[in-house]
Structure 1
Amino acid sequence: ILSSMIRARAKEMPNVSQVTEEENENTEKLKLRREVGLLSAVSLIAGTMVGSGIFMSPEWLLRSMGSPGGSLLIWAACGLLTMLSALSYAELGQFIAESGGEYIYLLRIFGQVPAFLLIFTSVLVVRPAGIAAVSLSLGEYLSAPFYPGCSPPQIVIKWIAAACILVLCTVNSINVRLATHIQTFFAAAKLIALLIIVVGGLVLLVNGQTSTFQNAFQGTQTSIGTIGVAFYQGLWSYEGWNNLNSVTEELKHPEVNLLRAVIIAVPLVTLLYLLVNVSYFAAMTPSEMTTSKAVAVTWGNKVLGSWAWLMPLSVVLSTFGSINGMFFTGGRVCYIAAREGQMPNILSMVHVRHFTPSPALIFTSIMSLIMIIPGNFGNLVNFFSFTAWIFYSMTFAGLLYLKIKKSDFPRAYKVPIIIPIFMLIAAVCLVVAPIVDNPKIEYLYVSLSILSGLIVYAFLYYFQCCPGLTKATLFLQLLLEVSPTDKDTN
């Protein structure tokens, strides 16, 4: 049956195992289109950064730091680290003008093994964990109005999260422009929501509600491990600053728009985060924040009165847009890795009509749905942050290597070398500090999961143990109507 299907469709679609070298010269392969302009790029960064974090992390961060003043310092420090990181990545995008983010940078600089360890961990665990965490927060906020006075059942929250993942997988698989338009719309909606909180907080401060800021640093925790965990929660809220590097090949004029989008988006989000946290502290005492299951909803009930329903709606819009951005970039990282031969070939293919990497998006969705089953928000965030900063540190080291070895490489933008040096040290500290101060078994699990990639790499590439993969690829290619692509080198 499979053979007859292949013969029947062979004239309609190019097949990676059937197209000869001579046919390749006459067949125009599919390419991802450059449809992400500056506005969409800013929306992709800001819209992904402003997700569930600013609505879920403040109470977790306050529990770690123990004081409002300490919390605000961490929020500001996280914004600074994010800006320096994004500027470093903007120069990396000049050195290596390809989609794929950290994966493609490690592959081009350090070779196959480090890149495979990153993509193995990212595609199977880190990226799905991030999508699952944000989806669970969406489910919690969306179901909260239907369960007044008590916490929604976990089964309800997880079903809502799963439905969100399936809807956004479908949207991103259908049309790139539709996905970017959704990102722009929801980015605007969530910024309006944050402005409502900011204005409400300013009104409270003008009316004299400043008691929380008296002795603001009393009770501040200063242990290295505690500060490291607080940074994890804060940096989670800024996660998404590097998303544009994952879609460089779809960005219009990346040589200028990559840096412009970073300079616009990251400072804007940092300022909003600081003002929003000030508003939270103006409306609530620290004990009220740490006991709140949904800090934005508690703020709305205390400040907005009959309009309190705006807060759950705002959080739902915010998290929905954030998940859409994570899908848009996460699916493409998986696609790039497959195109480079480090993931199954089917994941490197694009739909023949929609020009979207639908197999990679579907695979990301499946892994995210699996993560939802046992996961909860706090654990998923810590797991995500700890693992992500391991590979961020390797990427900063790669930038330092390029700046030293290829200092004469022509590029439109150069970051001072002190910035990647500082970020490399900061990234290493963020990874090591929690382990030294308060070692947990979860950190061992993360390390083992990364090292297990060495076994998988040896099994798949050194010993070439991939039985039945070719037939499965052919079948899925016909089922999903996808075709191999050609890398855009323009």
Structure 2
Amino acid sequence: MAKKEDNKIGLIGATAYIVGSIIGSGIFIAPKGIVQHAGSVGLSLIIWVFCALLNMITAINYIELGTSIPESGADLAYIDYMGWTPIAFSLLWLSLLIQSSSSAAVLYLTFGKYLVQALDPIYCFSDATADSVAKLFGFGLLLFLTLTNMFSLQKFASRVQIISMCSKIFATAIIIGIGFFFIVFRGATSHYSSSEIMKNSNWKPGAIVLAIYQGNWAFGGFTTLNYGSEEIQIKDFRKTLPRACLGGLCISAVIYVLVNVSYFAILTPQEIIDSSAVATTFIQKTVGNGPAFAVPAVVGLLLIGTLNGDVFSWSR
């Protein structure tokens, strides 16, 4: 077994965990929560930027806590450090029994369902069989990621996360590239005209709060390293944590905004709201139905990065 220090992650691996935990399947499937409440293209983009800035401010607080109290566990460690052990104990069990376990079940089942859907052109499962196969795929991935995070954090688990991060950036870059191609060369700017960009904006305080809530949820994951502070290489810990956290947040924020700019260039707000898989609808309207069949497989594979980050944080 590798020495403890040799099995810890560096800056690139740490940044990959942040990006991989923040950017999930939502940006490809259902980035409609903000549009649903904001109503317009312009207000939706403003809220995306506002949420990015808000989460960076929150991240700075977690960076201060993480570098001052370099213990794994994030909220649990910080509350326990204050001497509020009963509250920390309650938080731990609430997280284990309800939050983490239920979220894990949903995410792994989602991964399995996307893989089953991707196999449809090759082999069509019956409804009963498809459900069982999806659960087996999810359980197999859970077992695989758990073992890699236990025994090979630096050599394998962090490399899986780096590959996943690069894959997510590549997949989103394709969407961004297609969107900006249509904006620059096809004149797809009608949704950004002065008469359309703020059309149907919902300025009600309740709607804006709900839109911000959706945006904050999309940026969830920047505390991943705080959960595993003791897994970061000690010699660079105080530099790695802030650089990885803020760097990962900046990368994710730029990707989120540019992907949404591309979506809005092709799709109307109502089309985004009505779509069950926005990336699929986007590809169908720009490239055609052929490549759209690959979306479930891509989303399923990209979920591995999110799930790997969750195993890293939840287990610690």
CA drift at 1:55: 2.1
Cα 1:169/1:329, change in 2 over 3 Å: farther
Q: Which amino acid aligns with 1:316?
A: G
Indicate the residue corresponding to 1:181 in structure 2.
159
CA contact (8 A) 1:101 1:246 kept: yes
Query: Any idea what the Cα deviations from partners look like across 1:334-381, whole Å, max 9, x if unmatched?
Result: xxxxxxxxxxxxxxxxxxxxxxxxxxxxxxxxxxxxxxxxxxxxxxxx
What is the aligned partner in structure 1 of residue 189 from structure 2?
Answer: 210
CA distance in 2, matches of 1:38, 1:157: 39
Secondary structure (helix, strand or coil) at the match of 1:58 reads coil
Q: Which residue among 252, 256, 274 is the counterpart of 1:273? A: 256
Which of 189, 195, 205 aligns to 1:224? It is: 205
Q: For residues 4-403 of structure 1, what are the structure 2 equivalents within 5 Å?
A: 34-145=7-118, 156=130, 159-160=133-134, 163-174=137-148, 175=151, 176=153, 177-206=155-184, 207-214=186-193, 215-252=196-233, 253-305=236-288, 306-332=290-316
The Cα of 1:168 is off from its aligned counterpart by: 2.9
Q: Structure 1 CA distance, aligned partners of 2:201 and 2:52?
A: 20
Taking structure 2 as the reference length, the TM-score comes to 0.85
Task: Name the aligned partner's letter for residue 213 of structure 1.
Answer: Y
Match of 1:338 in 2: none
Aligned-partner Cα distance in 2 for 1:32–1:331: 19
CA apart distance, 1:200: 0.8
Q: How big is the shift at 1:161?
A: 5.4
Indicate the RMSD between aligned Cα atoms, in angstroms: 2.6
Instruction: Please state how far the C-alpha of 1:103 moved relative to its aligned partner.
Output: 1.1
2:189, 2:222 → 1: CA distance? Answer: 32
Counterparts of 1:235 and 1:115, CA distance in 2: 24
Q: Give, in angstroms, the shift of residue 127 of structure 1.
A: 2.1
Q: 1:303 to 1:143 in 2, by over 3 A?
A: farther
Following the alignment from structure 2 to structure 1, what is the Cα–Cα distance between the partners of residues 57 and 266? 32
- Identity over aligned residues, as a percent? 33
Gaps of 5+ in 1: 1-29, 333-490
Question: Residues of 1 paired with 2:267 and 2:115: CA distance?
Answer: 22
Q: Label 1:181 to 1:161 Cα distance change in 2 as closer, same or farther (>3 A).
A: farther
Do the aligned partners of residues 159 and 209 (structure 1) sit closer, same or farther apart at CA in structure 2, a change above 3 Å counting? same
Using the size of structure 1 for normalisation, the TM-score is 0.57
Give the Cα separation in 1 of the matches to 2:291 and 2:172: 15
Deviations 1:74-128 (A, max 9, x none): 2111111121111211111121011111110111125112212322222222223
Deviation at 1:60, TM superposition (A): 2.5
CA separation in 2, counterparts of 1:163 and 1:236? 26
Question: Which consecutive residues of structure 2, in runs of 5 or more, have no partner in the other structure?
Answer: none
Larger Rg: 1
Structure 2 distance, partners of 1:280, 1:142, is 24
Could you say what secondary structure the match of 2:228 adopts? helix
Matches of 1:309 and 1:230 in 2, distance apart?
A: 30
CA deviation string 1:129-177 (max 9, x = no partner): 33344335434543445669xxx96984685256224423333224323
